[in-house]
Structure 1
């Protein structure tokens, strides 16, 4: 660890952390940084990162000093437009409100509860003839795709297409060098998504329903077609990968801790497992923010205009709030994790995900396979710096 000697208020620089460390074991990196330099520039990624929960909370909720609008990144180019994630104030609120009806509590009761049970039973039924499988590929991925198709109101050619779209968008958004070959992939995905959305619009106009696309196109004063398309893409870019990884993480945590699994079965408190899975390994580890006006934080100055990374994956392990944060433990005292964000940009789909996993997936899965066990011959490896989850989830179903 090195620190500039010119002035104490300058942001220290971490030259020890490598990209491989952030990919393979970011928790160890963030544990060290929370202790030694909680506001630091990681040289390998060229970004200032915030690793303490109080600081990440501040960056997500203090609109005077932090904002999200940034036209310098590759995201606008990759998504074919400026999404609501890169807007603030009234512009952001207008576009957020255009889809908020989908997530209203009455639709959870009237529509989504039954839909989520149906897609869960469909996904789990595909496992009935198997004794050994990789649940990441055979359950978490297809269930995430089915879930998102219903919530968004779209019908891709197959579940794999949703993941290919998401990967193309994510890779394009991270294309800081503006490589044309990378944008060619996101351009192709944009063309496919636009055709899919446009094909569904006529259906939703004739058959109004609570899905995001239907709500947006049937609004009294709908957004422009370009913004409807772009904001559907931001939902795809995060939600399908995020849901797959969070589901896999939660099941893995339960299988590693049979006493906790038994507690969930006996008490029907699957919400405890869902929440702990979200905290234990945040599926989206970090989010960008821009410093709107200079601010002093923990003895250093964040300069105006600087792009910083707010690391919710580290905030969820902050020892000020969590004892033994590296452990999956459903018995923890309640303390809100930051996985789905905070403030104006808090993820609208967080409560729907919780209903899918707590009310439908976990109780049904372990009722169908009460003797499921982790495959002891195959280790589960977590990878990823921005998006993180298990690369596989090998189990014996019987």
Structure 2
């Protein structure tokens, strides 16, 4: 159901028509219903910066342990241990400490030349084509290969994990796809095989480090179990693939639609990091964070009862006119760089530095070859998933 002028504002995160361009509805939520209630689907939503930011920080009220995707909370499924996206402190902090070893500055510095070399190898054969699909030819490849570089996951397993993530996040007819246990088992089996091989053949790499990592629980130190290593690896690979792809797609689309700003970047490549931040603010790849309300809470003069589902619309907060001047304008020269694209507080995205690196390097390498391009909007298509939004196909004509 789409928004209708004069009608009561309506929002449904699974409505693909709204998801194509949620910003008019989100603006109405900020202005007319800062605490929104959808009785049909049984959730509340916050959309203003001053509400979303503190709520992301308040893990005691807004809990992640039942999932951070609306459909998962509503289905009341059992969450397996080790998925830090779906955990709360203190166990979340324990697991986050282990995974933080993946994204150290030293590892980011080491992986950058590999990512740059891969981008060059992906783009150079397309030099005379005149047209390419940003997503198929670059966007899906860079994050997948980067995660592979970090974790040492074989290329075949990378593709299987990517396919599983796509299939199980996709919205079909406005509802999440059914969980595909077979594809999950296939992805798990490939990664598990590699983990077992690496356990028998240790090396100076990150997977070996995870296999040797120790955690302390109830005063007792122990190594990670094989299941924990497998869960961590699949989670990092799946989450990193989706958001990185959408960031690259949005960057190319927004700069095509704003040629003057693209020309400014061509003239001053030093603007590229700022441009990536503005892309993230303007089009957050993961714009909706769901939480389970653990206790009654007063919001805008109303009581949100314990047991409710709250959607924290960080994508809407990023365009809040109360926070950003001319918030609906894309501007790579914007000086206010803070945004909520990567969340905030305990669940601030561990892979934020990696996503920024992927977006920056992909854009730098693209601009080296093509300083101008146009999107074929007639053939472009959005992907519709339960938690991530962005382009599924983005054909561009380059020149």
- TM-score when scaled to structure 2? 0.84
Indicate how the Cα distance of structure 1 residues 62 and 123 shifts in structure 2: closer, same or farther if over 3 A, else same.
Answer: same
| Other-structure match for 1:123 | 122
Task: State the Cα deviation string for residues 175-207 of structure 1 (Å, max 9, x = none).
Answer: 999xxx923x1x112211221222222454434
Q: Measured at CA, do residues 36 and 21 of structure 1 come closer, stay the same or move farther in structure 2, by a change above 3 Å?
A: farther
Matched, 1:198 2:192: yes
8 Å CA contact 1:254, 1:273 repeated in 2: no
- Structure-1 separation of matches of 2:165 and 2:301: 39
Compute the displacement of 1:296 (Å): 0.9
Please report how far the alpha carbon of residue 33 of structure 1 lies from its aligned counterpart in structure 2 after TM superposition: 0.6
What is the root-mean-square deviation of aligned Cα atoms in Å?
Answer: 2.9
Map of 1:58 onto structure 2: 54
Q: Please report how far the alpha carbon of residue 222 of structure 1 lies from its aligned counterpart in structure 2 after TM superposition.
A: 3.0
Aligned to 2:228: 227
**Partner of residue 37 from structure 2, selected from 16, 37, 41:** 41
Q: Cα gap change, 1:202/1:163 in structure 2, threshold over 3 Å: closer, same or farther? A: closer
What is the alpha-carbon distance in structure 1 between the residues aligned to residue 117 and residue 78 of structure 2?
34
> Structure 1 residues 117, 289: closer, same or farther in 2, change over 3 A?
same
Contact 1:23 1:383 in 2 (8 A): no
CA 75–150 in structure 1, closer or farther in 2 if over 3 Å, else same: farther
Question: Structure 1 residue 208 and structure 2 residue 192: aligned?
Answer: no
Matches within 5 A, 1:243-262: 243-262=244-263
Q: Counterpart in 1 of 2:393?
A: 392
Q: Which moved more, 1:44-53 or 1:92-101?
A: 44-53
State the alpha-carbon separation in 1 of the partners of residues 194 and 18 from structure 2: 40
| Paired positions, count | 375
TM-score under structure 1 length normalisation: 0.85
Query: Aligned partners of 1:287, 1:86: CA distance in 2, in Å?
Result: 11
1:31 to 19, 22, 27: 27
* Structure 1 residues 229 and 106: alpha-carbon distance in aligned structure 2, compared to 1, 3 A threshold: same
**Structure 1 CA distance, aligned partners of 2:350 and 2:308?**
27
Gaps of 5+ in 2: 1-7, 215-221
**Residues 101, 210 of structure 1: 8 Å contact kept:** no
Q: Is the 8 A contact 1:169 1:237 kept in 2?
A: no
State the SS of the aligned residue for 2:350.
coil
Query: 1:287-366 alignment to 2 at 5 Å?
Result: 287-358=289-360, 360-366=361-367
Shift of the 95–75 alpha-carbon distance from structure 1 to 2, 3 Å rule, reads farther
